[in-house]
Amino acid sequence: MRTVFNELNVSNSIAIMGGTFDPIHYGHLVTAEAVRHKYNINQVIFMPTGHPPHKNNKEVSHSEHRYLMSVLATAANPYFNVSRMEIDRKGTTYTIDTIKGLKEVYGEKTELYFITGADALHYIFTWKDAEELLRLCTFVAVTRPGYNKEKLVKEIEIIKKNYESKIHFLEVPALSISSTDIRNRVREGRPIKYLVPESVENYIYKFKLYI
């Protein structure tokens, strides 16, 4: 297994792609690659959530399944890695703790980008220590085509004006793919081919996930 916590591989810029990844799909991978290319990022760390505060644990597959699917999906990209930081952390996992942990590993001079769905920015101040989080990393808000950007752009401008923060906006067509839809397709016996990498598809069927 690869690990991101190797001091010999310290990067100047790192993007964190967080999510339950239940399952990880091509929308996640295309988004991560688009952000990496757009902002010339050295490494993207996929961070499967452990015990997210906004999810009922019964709704989420076991963390080992989600971690291993993420490893399988990212194996072919030399710029992608997967971290166990959140799934190995006891108790509820918060983004601020993850960002602080990565700062300790990679050093204060490493620039961290946090990739999030645009909708999440509407609720950013409900996150733990949101103001500190906005100072510690650069946010990249990603949306699918057709998203109503007007409200989001206004909110971004207010946040940037009132807080010491950097927020970018990026449209990604592949975000129309949904983990919820994939789980429903498996449950209903419909195909998921070309929505997830073949290795992830095989894993889902082997371990009878979402049935």
- Residue 3: the pLDDT is 44
Q: Which residues contact 179 (CB under 8 A, 6 or more apart)?
A: 20, 21, 22, 23, 24, 25
pLDDT for 6: 42
pLDDT single digits (tens) 23-60 = 999 999 999 999 999 999 999 999 999 876 666 556 79
* Cα distance between the two ends of the chain: 28
Q: How far is CA 65 from CA 25, 57, 187, 202, in A?
A: 14, 14, 17, 12
Q: How far is Cα 77 from Cα 73, in angstroms, rounded to an integer?
A: 9
Low-confidence ranges of the chain (pLDDT < 50): 1-10
26 and 196 Cβ atoms separated by less than 8 Å:
yes
Token pair in block for residue 112: 């961290």
- Joined tokens for residue 162: 């009132």
Residue 178 has a pLDDT of: 92
- Among 161, 142, 164, 137, residue whose Cα is nearest residue 152: 142
**CA-wise closest residue to 36 among 27, 44, 26:** 44
Angle at 49 between CA 182 and CA 27, to 5 degrees: 35
Return the CATH superfamily for domain 7-176: HUPs (3.40.50.620)
User: Would you state the pLDDT for residue 55?
Assistant: 60
Q: What share of the chain is helix, strand, coil (3-state, %, to 5)?
A: 45, 15, 40
**Res 57: pLDDT:** 52
Predicted confidence at residue 8, as pLDDT, reads 37
Report pLDDT for 150.
84
Q: Where are the domains of the chain?
A: 7-176
